[in-house]
């Protein structure tokens, strides 16, 4: 089966999460992705453990963090601070379709590896730079990290309990969303290049992405003229749409329209709520949430969680259990869809979470496991025409590993 990006070459000069996430997406779609890493150290996330991947002899290898974002790639460990290392990357860039990097603004210029320089010899090259704050503006020179951006970008202000401290999300969601936006930009530039023959330079900033993905909450502030409140596990615009306690656990009830609420009222033995002007419409329920929600909560405490979930499903009322991550990964639907898989590196199984995209019913998850540091250096360099003696000399000098 052909892959959507088959034949495309990507140089992934990024590290940590946002850039590698974009590179992994392109690898899953069939591109050849060469991950440029520092000799000896590699991507920072290789050491961000525990937990660690161990081989059959229980020797520690990479951290789980690294393994989540580098499937499908080749690892070329090369010292770009050395002129010979720079020359090798420039040679690769001559044939590349895409460059992904997350160096600080101007960071690659001193090596002669910035997009403007590389595009002079390869005008069809598509460059994607991922930074905390973008290529211009008063914060352009600052480093940016997901947690900090969640704080600065307003996400934490609407996350957490109303009477508690603002909270970050449990996943580095700004990094992940930035990686997805970056991949979208690259794919759009590829489509345009098919018509014009010219590449594009794409500037993606974590803060920009965080502001963009505030979604309804940003418009709540702009239209409403005031900051949205924190609602904990409740929704600012829909009621009831939150977590509730049952007799033996917790569930989430997500009533999205008035018809679903009417069925909920009947199920809870409160048919009078159907036509009560305080509850009959979503706008009314939002206004009177402090009256309605405690009454729903009292009803749900009368039965076990799974009993309620069965009843909700029977009545067509959207709801779900609050699972742990392990429970979520073991969920029958998740298992059926093949979202949990593993790839083999030699005799070592590497757990993976699959790419959620399916084309014509088939997964787009690369079958190439995340590479060990420098795993593919010899193959990549030999493919560029270097002899084994030349590669050995580069390794002796510490330029590659």
| pLDDT tens for each residue of 97-133 | 999 999 999 999 999 999 999 999 999 999 999 999 9
Three-state SS at 171 = coil
CATH number of 71's domain? 3.40.50.10540
User: CATH number, domain at 259?
Assistant: 3.30.1540.10
The helix (H) or strand (E) run that includes residue 340 is strand 340-345
Q: In this structure, are residues 391 and 383 in contact, taking their beta carbons and an 8 Å threshold?
A: no
Same domain, 49 and 117: yes
Query: ∠ CA(36), CA(41), CA(42), 5° rounding?
Result: 25
pLDDT level of residue 346 (50, 70, 90 thresholds): confident
Mark whether 30 and 127 lie in a shared domain. Answer: yes
Lowest-confidence range among 25-34, 39-48, 56-65?
A: 56-65
- By three-state DSSP, how is residue 64 classified? helix
Q: What is the DSSP string of 28-52?
A: HTT-EEEEEE-TTT-SGGGG--SSE
In this structure, are 101 and 195 located in the same domain?
Answer: yes
d(CA 115, CA 117): 5
pLDDT in tens, 302-311: 999 999 999 9
Range scoring the smallest mean pLDDT among 54-68, 77-91, 377-391? 54-68
Instruction: Clarify whether residues 290 and 343 are in a common domain.
Output: no
pTM of structure = 0.94
Q: Does residue 37 form part of some domain?
A: yes
Mean local confidence (pLDDT), 73-95:
97
Q: What is the mean pLDDT of the chain?
A: 96
Q: At which residue do the structure tokens 């957490």 appear?
A: 160
| pLDDT value at residue 62 | 87
The answer to whether residue 83 sits within a structural domain is: yes
Which sequence positions are flagged as catalytic? 175
For the cut 70, the answer to whether the pLDDT of residue 59 exceeds it is no
Distance CA 71, CA 268 (A): 48
Q: Does residue 3 lie within any of the structural domains?
A: no
| Other CB atoms within 10 Å distance of the CB of residue 350 | 17
**How large is the average pLDDT for residues 372-396?**
96
pLDDT of residue 307: 97
Rounded Cα distance, 279 and 200, in Å = 52
**Total count of domains within the chain:** 2
- The answer to whether residues 388 and 245 belong to one domain is no
Considering the domain architecture, whether residues 293 and 353 belong to the same structural domain is answered as no
Residue 395 burial (10 A CB sphere; 0-12, 13-18, 19+): middle
127 plus 60 within the same structural domain: yes
Residue 221 lies in a domain: no
Q: How confident is the model over 123-147, as a mean pLDDT?
A: 97
One domain for residues 144 and 279: no
Is residue 131 a contact partner of residue 102, using CB atoms and an 8 Å limit? yes
Q: What is the pLDDT of residues 173-216, one digit of tens each?
A: 999 999 999 999 999 999 999 999 999 999 999 999 999 999 99
| Cα–Cα dist 312/302, whole Å | 15
Q: Has residue 164 been placed in a domain? A: yes
**131 and 265 fall within a common domain:** no
- The boundaries of the domain holding residue 302 are 241-322
In this structure, are 145 and 289 located in the same domain?
A: no
The residue out of 322, 351, 368 marking a domain boundary is 322
Q: How far is it, in rounded angstroms, from Cα 37 to Cα 24?
A: 15
Model confidence band, residue 58 (pLDDT cutoffs 50, 70, 90): low
* Residue 361 and residue 318 share a domain: no
Q: Is 223 a domain residue?
A: no
| Confidence band, pLDDT 50/70/90 cuts, at residue 284 | very high
Closest CA to 221 of 288, 154, 152: 154
Q: Sorting pLDDT into bands at 50, 70 and 90, what band is 61?
A: confident
User: Domain boundary residue among 298, 322, 346?
Assistant: 322
Q: Is 379 among the domain residues?
A: yes
Q: Kindly state whether residue 32 falls inside one of the protein's structural domains.
A: yes
Among 266, 289, 322, give the residue marking a domain's end: 322
pLDDT, tens digit, 9 for 90 and up, residues 223-263:
999 999 999 999 999 999 999 999 999 999 999 999 999 99
Neighbours of 335 (CB within 10 A): 11
HSE toward the beta carbon, residue 2, CA cutoff 13 A: 5
Statement to judge: residues 385 and 275 lie in one domain: no
Cis geometry, peptide bond prior to residue 231 (ω within 30 degrees of 0):
no
């Amino acid at each position: 089966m052909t892959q959507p990006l088959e034949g495309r070459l990507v140089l992934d000069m990024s590290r940590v999460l946002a850039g590698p996430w974009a590179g992994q997406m392109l690898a899953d779609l069939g591109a050849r992705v060469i991950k440029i890493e520092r000799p000896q150290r590699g991507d920072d996330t290789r050491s961000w453990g525990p937990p660690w991947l161990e081989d059959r002899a229980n020797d520690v290898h990479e951290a789980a963090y690294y393994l989540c974002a580098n499937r499908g790639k080749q690892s070329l460990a090369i010292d770009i601070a050395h002129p010979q290392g720079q020359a090798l990357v420039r040679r690769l860039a001559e044939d590349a379709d895409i460059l992904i990097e997350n160096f600080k603004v101007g960071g690659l210029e001193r090596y002669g590896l910035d997009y403007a320089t590389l595009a002079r010899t390869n005008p069809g090259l598509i460059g994607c730079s991922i930074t905390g704050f973008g290529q211009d503006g008063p914060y352009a020179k600052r480093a940016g990290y997901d947690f900090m951006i969640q704080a600065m970008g307003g996400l934490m202000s609407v996350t957490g309990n109303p009477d508690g401290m603002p909270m970050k999300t449990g996943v580095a969601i700004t990094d992940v969303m930035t990686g997805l936006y970056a991949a979208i930009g690259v794919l759009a530039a590829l489509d345009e290049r098919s018509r014009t023959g010219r590449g594009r330079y794409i500037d993606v900033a974590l803060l920009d992405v965080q502001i963009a993905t505030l979604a309804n909450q940003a418009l709540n502030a702009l239209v409403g003229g005031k900051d949205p409140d924190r609602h904990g596990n409740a929704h600012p615009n829909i009621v009831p749409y939150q977590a509730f306690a049952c007799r033996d656990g917790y569930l989430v009830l997500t009533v999205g329209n008035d018809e679903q609420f009417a069925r909920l009222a009947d199920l809870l033995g409160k048919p009078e709520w159907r036509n009560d002007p305080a509850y009959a419409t979503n706008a009314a329920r939002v206004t009177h949430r402090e009256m309605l929600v405690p009454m729903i909560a009292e009803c749900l405490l009368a039965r076990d969680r799974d009993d309620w979930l069965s009843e909700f499903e029977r009545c067509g009322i959207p709801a779900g259990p609050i699972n742990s991550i392990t429970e979520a990964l073991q969920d029958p639907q998740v298992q059926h869809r093949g979202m949990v898989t593993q790839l083999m590196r030699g005799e070592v199984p590497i757990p993976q979470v699959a790419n959620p995209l399916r084309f014509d019913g088939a997964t787009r998850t690369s079958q190439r496991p995340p590479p060990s540091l420098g795993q593919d250096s010899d193959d990549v360099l030999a493919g560029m025409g270097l002899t084994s003696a030349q590669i050995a000399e580069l390794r002796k000098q510490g330029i590659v590993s």
